[in-house]
Structure 1
């Protein structure tokens, strides 16, 4: 935590910090390995951490202003306690919390475990003004928080981290840039993180309202599963691997897919594969064998069978029909 949003507290204190131009850095000598650095702006601060503490770290911080906290973590085991309520983060997650001025946070970070995260703290009203957003650009809960409706601390959103956000965190944590260029990159990627979180939040709300899923956690599972299978269709996880990655069991995951999408995870993944194969065949730059390999089939014959089952014709027939005025590599 940085002095930009948190005031000193006469009690348990955070690890020592070292001032530097544009921010502060935790002094980890004797207590951990890695780095935790905070970049301070006029109405926001971004903390980039990749650290492993030798022992459990506990400290207390007090909010000096209303704040929204957006945290995207790849490796994580920490907890915030306020007013007796514990917000615990034990796996890769994205979380959005509302923290009114005067909120007292007791922060606990587990020792011996890697902590890798990007955290953005910003004044709620600046979310719209600084980024020139219209209220309709934000999901309704975030829109209310940005409007200053911070009457009590709350953890407004917790969802599994998605591939695009995970990649962003990884890029920021392991950047080769330094100095002013590093600060410029961190500030730009923080804006991108806010956009991705807002888009994912909207997607989750839309899925919940359209599918009839009552549990927020179930909606998060389905949204994350769809994204994983869409992005990794060429080498998809098994149902057991996918359910384990999402923190659920394979029977529940299969049931949720049937309930919300009317299909199974396997069938959904097949549709992604064949859809991509159709696009590649229409482009006409690859042979059928190369297309099969690009969408995850080791044997062209297996690809042809699957393609016909979904499309109703062979890849060769589809290619010829789709690009009649152009030679297509079909060998």
Structure 2
């Protein structure tokens, strides 16, 4: 069963309507929520592809089609049978592109008339129309985010304040001799936002508003870094000159060395490790820029 809050946050998944397709399953709903929460956090046209509750491709673009192309390019294999979310109108060009792959759920704030005609040819695709939140205040709820995270555990409920901090450029602390460029700073904010929705341990390579490799849900941050670089290699994407987001601090320099060896030249991480200075020294030794966010994500 799928229950909704008496007073749902504006623009949340439960405020949408299903336009076509089979009934949503338990996993469909959970994955759709992960995709929608991620995509609606961007202010420019964006596409998010989710598989098993983790983003496998996220990108910004001038329109839905461009954003989809870039997101799909990150990990075409994992995108098969995925959940796709847009924060902008889906036109017939984007709908036709999406229709070429196997999709479980497709969601957007609007679909053009031509796009709806295209999607009717894919009757099994679950198509959801969800309005984007219209901010009416400064609190997270007004921006469409839940204020509390709730998780069911054995005979109880686990609750905590939701991870709703919106990182700004002014929050970043450069800790290395090398300074990030203006372009890198924008990609750092993008990568950090994506990392929020990737299960920990999360490592996200990005460049030009596009994920290039995502390492998710590993018990070792080192393994997540390796997997992210392997994913990029399999997708034929270069990691040279990319930025990297780590959802929690690097406890040792080895994780930093892995991402730099892969091609990253700029890193964002929370900081706060007992060995922060060791990692900072390693970044200076390797000639890369690194910034501390001062907050961590740690999605579970």
Task: Identify the structure with bigger relative contact order (alpha carbons < 8 Å, sequence gap 6+).
Answer: 2
With the length of structure 1 as denominator, give the TM-score of the two structures.
0.29
With the length of structure 2 as denominator, give the TM-score of the two structures.
0.31
Considering fraction of residues, name the structure with more helix. Answer: 1
